[in-house]
Amino acid sequence: MEFKLIAIALMATVGLGQSPDVDSSARPEFEVASIRPDNGQMNVQLLWLPGGRLSASGITATLLIGVAYSVKDFQIFGGPSWTGRDQYSIDAKPGVASRKGPILSLYLTRQQRESEEGKLRIQSLLAERFQLRIHRETREEQVYSLIVAKNGPKLQKSKFDDGAPENGVPGLQMHPYQLTGTKVSIHYLAEELSRRLSRDVIDQTGLDGEYDFNLRWVPDVGDGDSLPDGPSIFTALQEQMGLKLESSKSPVDVLVIDHVERPSAN
C-alpha cells in the first residue's frame, strides 16, 4: 500500500537503534487503549503526546511493529497479508504510575528514555491486543552504503534557531518524492531512505553535523508512463546533496512474525 504522506513523530527522537528485548512481565504498558478500524486513510500519523499518550491514525500492524521494535517494514518477515493492509486508529494512555521497571542506562537522556519506554508500551499493546509473537534472525541481504560523492558534499549546515518560534520545529518533512530537512542529521536521512528504497541504508558518510536540505526526485516508471522530467532518487542525492548510494551485501537483523491476530475493535 502506498501513502501520500507518512508523518511519524516519536517524542524528539526516532530510530534510536534496536529496542531491547525485555521480559514481557517487566515491560511498561498502556492503562487504556482504544483500537478501531481506520481503512482508506492516505495520510498516516503516529504521535506521542504529553504524558506518554499515543495517538495514531491510518496505521497498519506492520508499521506499528516497526515502530515498537525499531525495524523497517522490509525487515519484517512472515505474517498474513492484512498486517500491511488493514489500517487502524489508536488512542492509548499510560497510567499515572504505569512503569513496571526502569530502563537501565546511564547514557539515555530523559527524552530518549521516554521514547524507549513508549516503544516498550507498544510492544505490550501488540502482545495483548494483536496476540503478536516474534523472533529475531540475522540474514544476508542487499544493502546500500550512503557515502560522500567524488566531488564532496553539497550540504548546508543548519541555521535553525531553537529560540525562534517562528522557525517552526526541526525535523524531516516527508512527501511522496521530496524530503525536506530542518536541523536533520545524515543518520535520520539514511533511515528514511531505507524506507523509501526498501533496503537497509548504512550511513558511511562520516558527516556528524545537522543540516537543512530539500531533496526532490521523480519516481522510476515503466515504458509508456508519463511523469515530469527529473532525476531519480540516486541522481538527486548526488546532484543536490553530494551523496551517493552504493549497493552491497551485509548481515541484516530481521524480525519474523510467528503469530498475529486482528485486534477486536473497542
pLDDT value of residue 105: 46
Decide if 53 contacts 9 (C-beta within 8 A): no
**Between 220 and 223, whose confidence is greater?**
220
pTM over 0.85: no
> Among 111-125, 143-157, 222-236, where is mean pLDDT lowest?
222-236
Q: Name the one residue in this structure whose C-alpha cell is 481506520.
A: 38
Greatest distance between any 2 Cα atoms in the chain: 59
Strands 87-93 and 133-148: unpaired
DSSP secondary structure letter of residue 73: G
Tens of pLDDT along 153-190?
A: 999 899 887 665 555 578 888 888 999 999 999 999 99
The SS3 call for residue 51 is helix
Q: How far apart, in whole angstroms, are the C-alpha atoms of residue 56 and residue 64?
A: 9
Is the pLDDT at 152 greater than 90, yes or no?
yes
Q: How far apart, in whole angstroms, are the C-alpha atoms of residue 120 and residue 27?
A: 6
Residue 256: in which H helix or E strand, if any? Answer: strand 243-259
**Between 13 and 198, whose confidence is greater?**
198
Tens of pLDDT along 70-123?
A: 898 899 999 999 999 999 999 999 976 544 444 444 455 666 677 788 899 999
Q: How many CB atoms within 10 Å of residue 256?
A: 15
Confidence of residue 19 (pLDDT cuts 50, 70, 90): low
Average pLDDT, the chain: 83
Rg (alpha carbons) of the chain, rounded to whole number? 19
> Among 108-117, 129-138, 202-211, where is mean pLDDT lowest?
108-117
